[in-house]
Amino acid sequence: MNESLSAKDQTEKVPISESRTPETERLLEMYEVRDAILNRISPDVVSVIDIERFLQAVVSEVGRRLSVDRCNIITPSTDGGFLVSHEYVADQNLAPGTGLNIPPSLVPVETIRNYLPRSRHFAINDILTAELPGWVRTACQLIGTRAVLIAPFVVRDELLGVMALHYCREPHEWSDAETRLIEWLATQVTIGLQYSRLYHEKEKEVELTRLLLEISNDINMRNDFSEITEFVINKAIEQLGADYGCLAVLDAAGEHLHFDSLRARRGVDLRKVVEARYREARTIRIPDHPVVSEVLQQGHTLKLESPEQSPVSSYLLTHVIKGRSALIVPISAKQRTLGVIAIVWVSEENRFSDFDVQLLNGISSQVAVALEKDRLAAEVLRLRRELNDARAGERIIGASQKIQRAIDMALSVADSQTTVLLQGESGTGKELVASLIQANSRRGGKPFVKINCGAIPPTLLETELFGHERGAFTDARSKRIGRFEEADGGTLFLDEVGEMSLAAQVSLLRVLQDGEFTRVGGNEVVKADVRVIAATNKELEQEIEAGRFRRDLYYRLNVYPILLPPLRERLDDLEQLVTFFVERFQEKSGKRVTGISDRALKALRGYSWPGNVRELENCIERAVIVAAGRQIAEEDLPEGIRASAQSGQTARFELNLPMTMEEIEREAIARVLDMTAGDKAKAARLLGIGRKTLYRKLEAYKLLEP
């Protein structure tokens, strides 16, 4: 009985074993693989915060356990296509695919994003025999696959990526067990990705709150709105990795938007990548820019990811700010737009995240609070911008080596007490450099008194400089203080110092030596703490030789000489200067002149500019007024400039040999002087020698006029 039962049991067990089909065996194998994979990746699921490690563990374990040639994860890339981000390869002879980018031009991205989220898997047993769209076959060949099984990672109809199993050399018929396994794996990876996303979102929320709290505390420690502006722009640039940024404040009437000077991140030289008109503090008139008006009215954050994104993006990135991408956030309070913050990337296109927008919106809200909290500070900033525009001509325009050298020297000496001598032809900007030195010195808030020594008769110059006592001369009915006393504690700018009389030079020397003087007609010694900046367009050394200037005074003034180059020696700055003056005078005249023609610019370059930048300024003002079109044409320029361009400044003369080299040189100099009508600066340029060299030769050859 027992034996029969035992035999019966044995006979019953055999059919069970024999009833296992290949499909059943494969399914059991898949369950074992699933359990092994789950045990292998569970530690990584727990620490899914390290999402990169988790995904690499998945592809490695799946690929090894299933004995496929390749297992990879493909995710959306920043350019709109797809990227092989993680991969397992069984055979080292197979080309690695990690980092392979499938561009949007190769695949219909929208089709994939619309189709895959609605399917659980997608299988191809053999790309050579299957009926496939051309782009699918091309993508498979690009990856290097023969048979592929794909399952998507989907969260709320959003495609986060796909997992793919590949056989690269042979076709493969994918079983139901393999299909169910990859669907299950895709579900597990999707859970991991979702968990990681939630974790990082919370982490970003904490980081955002911390940053905004830190910024708020720093803002509250500052009283000056300019300091707040500088701080928040620098902070935004640092956090977002931008190239530069600026803040613009809307005036009370809502007609002008005043842009502050740009703040750049460390290592970015804006002079090389952004034109001067975008770098400088400036004002734009809202009615002239309808796009800006619309942006301000809407009051929404703008994500300008490239100039090609839209007409609005193209206009703003070309005509208002300068870059390839930007975030523009309004500064709003009580349903009113007060201005904007613009953060810009010069050469990089971007896809901005929600974190980027939230951070800048948070900063904008705090700036709005600061503006509302202290409207007076905002009004001061606005008035400074308007004053800056009103005095726009007082900015030094130019990036050439010579003018930058002069600016660097001026800034180096600015915060010292050293006497400065500015040398250069008339119209080269000596007064601008003097203002630059004063503004950047510790005397910046003290009096800055200017006097043109050449415009005051010699008999009155001493009175103007040092003052006079009552009764010192006829009509001196009361005591008057001079410019030195006015400038006490500050700076005195003596323009055209070479025109001073010898008597006035003696008194000036005493002030420079001892810091004291007496008023005309008085005996009282007056002390004054004054820094002197002198300027001249004369060669003072020649004036000394001629007995018209004191040598000891020259040595007192020439402690720190700065030579300003004439315009003809920095023609690289000409176009920048022209652009600046065109913008300035079109606003002043109300005419819509936006530029200058190439022929007109060529004519300006061919002119010698004896009056330097001042002459150019007058020339452009006249041209803007007479211009008939949107650009300054050659015929809008003064006759003298056009004639100079047409003549080409060439001349010939004959020599009667034999002649010595000295005689030839003397003849050449004399002929060039005749051609330039005695303009020695122009003659020196045509001869290719320095002005001082020309004067020495004129003296040696007795060609100087008595």
Yes or no: say if 504 and 549 are a contact pair by the CB < 8 Å rule: no
Residue 383 has pLDDT above 60, yes or no: no
| In the chain, % of residues over pLDDT 70 | 81
For domain 225-390, give the CATH superfamily: GAF domain (3.30.450.40)
Residue 614 to residues 185, 522, 567, 620, Cα–Cα distance (Å): 76, 41, 10, 10
- In this structure, whether the domain defined by 22-199 belongs to CATH 3.30.830.10 is answered with no
Task: Report CA-CA distances (Å) from 428 to 234, 616, 657.
Answer: 35, 11, 42
Check residue 44 and give its pLDDT: 47
Residue 280 pLDDT class (50, 70, 90 cuts) = low
Q: What is the pLDDT of residue 184?
A: 85
What is the 3-class SS of 374-393, one letter each residue? CHHHHHHHHHHHHHHHHCHH
Predicted local distance difference test score (pLDDT) of residue 9: 42
pLDDT at site 504? 84
Three-state SS string over 591-607 comes to CCCCEECHHHHHHHHCC
Going from the C-alpha of 604 to that of each of 401, 427, 578, 601, 677, the distances in angstroms are 20, 16, 9, 5, 20
Determine the pLDDT at residue 22.
62
- 618 or 291: which carries more pLDDT confidence? 618
Please tell me the distance from the alpha carbon of residue 158 to that of residue 668, in angstroms, as a whole number. 82
Report the C-alpha gap between 202 and 223 in whole angstroms.
33
Q: Which residues contact 597 (CB under 8 A, 6 or more apart)?
A: 631, 632, 633, 634
Q: Which residues neighbour 42 within 8 Å (Cβ) at sequence distance 6 or greater?
A: none
pLDDT in tens, 163-190: 999 999 999 999 888 888 888 888 888 8
Q: Which of the residue ranges 83-87, 104-108, 264-268 has the most confident prediction, judged by mean pLDDT?
A: 83-87
Mean pLDDT of the chain: 79
Q: Closest by alpha carbon to 278, among 317, 309, 242?
A: 317
Which fold, 567-647?
Answer: Helicase, Ruva Protein; domain 3 (1.10.8)
Q: Looking at 47-150, list the stretches that DSSP marks H as alpha helix, in order from N- to C-terminal side.
A: 51-66, 109-115, 134-143
Q: Which two tokens stand for residue 339?
A: 């201005």
CA dihedral 304, 307, 313, 319 (to 10 degrees): 120
Which residue shows structure tokens 């010898």?
A: 502
Of 434, 445, 431, 435, which Cα lies nearest the Cα of 489? 445
More confident residue, 386 or 672: 672
Rounded to an integer, what distance in angstroms lies between the CA atom of residue 101 and that of residue 692? 65
Tell me, what's the pLDDT at 15? Answer: 42
Pairing type for strands 595-596 and 631-632 reads: parallel
Comparison of pLDDT for 365 and 379, the residue scoring more: 365
Across 293-315, average pLDDT: 85
Point out the least confidently predicted range of 35-39, 148-152, 681-685: 35-39
In eight-state DSSP terms, residue 520 is B
Could you tell me which of 159, 188, 163, 205 has the C-alpha nearest to residue 46? 188
Please compute, for residue 258, the number of CA atoms within 13 A of its CA located in the half-sphere on the CB side: 20
The per-residue pLDDT for 134 is 85
The pLDDT, as a whole number, for residue 476 is: 67
Distance in angstroms (rounded) separating the CA atoms of residues 182 and 210? 41
| pLDDT at residue number 204 | 67
Q: Among positive and negative, which fits the CA dihedral 171, 176, 178, 184?
A: positive
Q: Residue holding tokens 């005249």?
A: 589
Using DSSP, state whether 561 is helix, strand or coil: strand
- What is the arithmetic mean of pLDDT over 332-342? 81
Buried-state track 397-428, b at ≥16 Cβ within 10 A, e below 16:
bbebebbeebbebbeebbeeeebbbbbbbebb
In the chain, CATH 3.40.50.300 covers 401-563
Query: Could you tell me where in the chain the CATH 3.30.450.40 domains are found?
Result: 22-199, 225-390
CB neighbourhood size of 133 (10 A): 11
Q: Looking at 383-397, 399-413, 444-458, which range is the least confident one?
A: 383-397
pLDDT reading at 153 higher than 80: yes
Mean pLDDT of the 262-268 span? 79
CATH number of the 661-700 domain: 1.10.10.60
- Any alpha helices (H) in 260-374, and if so which ranges? 270-273, 276-279, 290-298, 311-315, 354-373
How far is 159 from 153, CA to CA, in rounded Å?
Answer: 6
From residue 41, give the alpha-carbon distance in Å to each of 59, 61, 89, 412: 10, 8, 18, 64
Strand-pair partners of 430: none
The pLDDT of residue 340: 86
Orientation of helix 354-373 relative to helix 176-220, angle to 10°: 20
pLDDT of residue 381: 46
Mean pLDDT along residues 554-575: 91
pLDDT value at 148 more than 90 = yes
What is the structure's pLDDT at 668? Answer: 85
Q: pLDDT tens-digit profile of 481-527? A: 788 888 888 999 999 999 888 888 888 888 888 888 888 777 888 88
Which of 271-285, 474-488, 522-536: highest mean pLDDT? 522-536
Which stretch of 81-90, 312-321, 576-585, 671-680 has the lowest confidence by average pLDDT?
Answer: 671-680
Q: Is 649 helix (H, G, I), strand (E, B) or coil?
A: coil
Residue 421: band (very low, low, confident or very high) from pLDDT cuts 50, 70, 90 = very high
Return the pLDDT at 528: 84
- Hey, is 324 helix, strand or coil? coil
> Which residues make Cβ contacts (< 8 Å) with residue 596, sequence separation at least 6?
578, 582, 604, 623, 631, 632
The first and second tokens of residue 324, run together, are 């390839």
Check the CA dihedral 58-64-65-68 and report its sign: positive
Secondary structure (DSSP) of 19-32: T--HHHHHHHHHHH
- Cβ-proximal residues to 255 (8 Å cutoff; 6+ apart), any chain: 285, 286, 287
Min mean pLDDT across 25-29, 96-100, 653-657 is at 25-29
pLDDT at site 706: 54
Domain with CATH 1.10.10.60 in the chain: 661-700
Q: What is the mean pLDDT of residues 12-26?
A: 51
pLDDT of residue 5: 35
pLDDT computed for residue 14 by the predictor: 38
The pLDDT confidence band at residue 10, using thresholds 50, 70 and 90, is very low
Q: How many CA atoms lie within 13 A of 149 on its CB side?
A: 25
CATH of domain 401-563: 3.40.50.300
Q: What does the pLDDT look like over 79-93, one tens digit per residue?
A: 778 889 999 999 888
Residue 167 and residue 69 in contact, taking contact as beta carbons nearer than 8 Å: yes
Question: Which are the contacts of 269, defined by CB distance < 8 A and separation ≥ 6?
Answer: none
Q: Is the pLDDT of residue 669 over 70?
A: yes
User: What is the rounded distance in angstroms from the CA atom of residue 475 to the CA atom of residue 484?
Assistant: 22
Neighbours of 22 (CB within 10 A): 8
Instruction: Kindly report the backbone phi and psi dihedral angles of residue 456, in degrees, each rounded to the nearest multiple of 5, phi listed first.
Output: -115, 130
Least confident of 108-112, 446-450, 681-685: 108-112
Domain with CATH 1.10.8.60 in the chain: 567-647
Instruction: Kindly report which listed range (227-236, 643-652, 657-666, 689-698) carries the lowest average pLDDT score.
Output: 643-652
The pLDDT > 90 percentage for the chain reads 14
Q: Which residues contact 159 (CB under 8 A, 6 or more apart)?
A: 76, 112, 113, 116, 117, 152, 153
Torsion 136-140-145-146 (CA) sign: positive
Q: What is the mean pLDDT of residues 259-273?
A: 74
